[in-house]
């Protein structure tokens, strides 16, 4: 009986192990689908959706869900992501110039260095909120950006935590020569869902907000 209990795939250890493997597998899917860069938004939307339903709620078919959501959100996510990438590149260039000047001993550049980092967090928060929202609701690009801005302004503490969390995990992955990238994207999506689902809860059907089982795509029909 003990032997059977230990190797029962339904016990807590093996369920946890399976979900940890899903975090790694979905992170790899995210990395591969993000390689063209402009697909980063669709990959992030798909990752959040698959991690929330597959890892956090324990639903089956999380990989199929990832690629289905990637396909369904591709146009809208890409249309929103491209201008944000341009803005992020411009802010990063400003940060790099400030970094070079700070290395040369400029005190003003040090202040500007930190200011640029804060400025980078603002579009990051809006973009993340937009991609996570798209995983749960259907929007056109313009309406999605407006909704994301409204949600960020209405939930500034959560938005700051989500943006900082993603930024720190991204920096950690970069500093460790990308090896943690095999799990940090999925981990980031999982941790962000703890904040985002509270924000989404008032706009979802009661059974969804209570995290009970519902048909797969009912949560994508209407937005905030």
What pTM did the predictor assign? Answer: 0.84
d(CA 68, CA 105): 51
Q: Which pLDDT score is estimated for 116?
A: 79
pLDDT tier for residue 29 given thresholds of 50, 70 and 90: very high
- Name 84's Cβ contacts closer than 8 Å, sequence gap at least 6: 41, 123, 126, 127
pLDDT tier for residue 164 given thresholds of 50, 70 and 90: very high
Question: Tens of pLDDT along 79-135?
Answer: 999 999 999 889 888 888 888 888 877 777 778 878 877 888 999 999 999 999 999
Q: Which pLDDT score is estimated for 48?
A: 98
Query: Of 90-94, 158-162, 183-187, 205-209, which range is least confident?
Result: 205-209
Looking at every residue in the chain, the average pLDDT score rounds to 86
Output phi, psi for 6, to 5 deg: -65, -40
pLDDT tier for residue 221 given thresholds of 50, 70 and 90: very low
Is pLDDT at 215 greater than 70 in this prediction? no
Is pLDDT at 76 greater than 50 in this prediction? yes
Residue that the structure tokens 């341009």 belong to: 86
Joined tokens for residue 203: 């706009």
Q: What is the DSSP string of 44-67?
A: HHHHHHHIIIIIIS--S-HHHHHH
Q: Which pLDDT score is estimated for 46?
A: 98
d(CA 224, CA 210): 17
Q: Which pLDDT score is estimated for 189?
A: 97
Q: Which pLDDT score is estimated for 13?
A: 66
* Average pLDDT estimate for 165-174: 91
Q: Which of 86, 80, 91 is nearest to 128 (CA)?
A: 80
The total of structural domains in the chain comes to 1
Domain residues for the domain of 131 are 2-220
Q: State the greatest distance between any 2 C-alpha atoms of the chain, in Å, as a whole number.
A: 70
């Amino acid at each position: 009986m003990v032997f059977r209990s230990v190797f029962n795939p339904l016990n807590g250890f093996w369920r946890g192990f399976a979900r940890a493997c899903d975090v790694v597998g979905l992170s790899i899917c995210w990395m591969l689908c993000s390689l063209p860069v402009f697909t980063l938004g669709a990959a992030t939307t798909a990752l959040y959706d698959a991690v929330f339903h597959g890892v956090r709620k324990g639903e089956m078919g999380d990989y199929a869900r990832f690629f289905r959501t990637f396909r369904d959100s591709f146009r809208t996510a890409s249309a929103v992501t491209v201008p944000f990438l341009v803005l992020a590149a411009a802010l990063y260039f400003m940060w790099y110039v400030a970094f070079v000047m700070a290395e040369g001993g400029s005190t003003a550049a040090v202040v500007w260095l930190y200011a640029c980092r804060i400025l980078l967090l603002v579009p990051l928060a809006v973009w993340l909120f937009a991609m996570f929202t798209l995983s749960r609701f259907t929007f056109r690009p313009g309406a999605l950006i407006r909704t994301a801005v409204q949600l960020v302004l209405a939930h500034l503490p959560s938005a700051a935590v989500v943006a900082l969390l993603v930024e720190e995990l991204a920096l950690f992955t970069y500093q460790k020569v990308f090896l943690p990238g095999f799990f940090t994207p999925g981990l980031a999506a999982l941790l962000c869902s703890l904040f985002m689902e509270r924000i989404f809860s008032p706009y979802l059907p009661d059974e969804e907000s209570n995290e009970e089982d519902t048909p797969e795509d009912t949560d994508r029909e209407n937005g905030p």
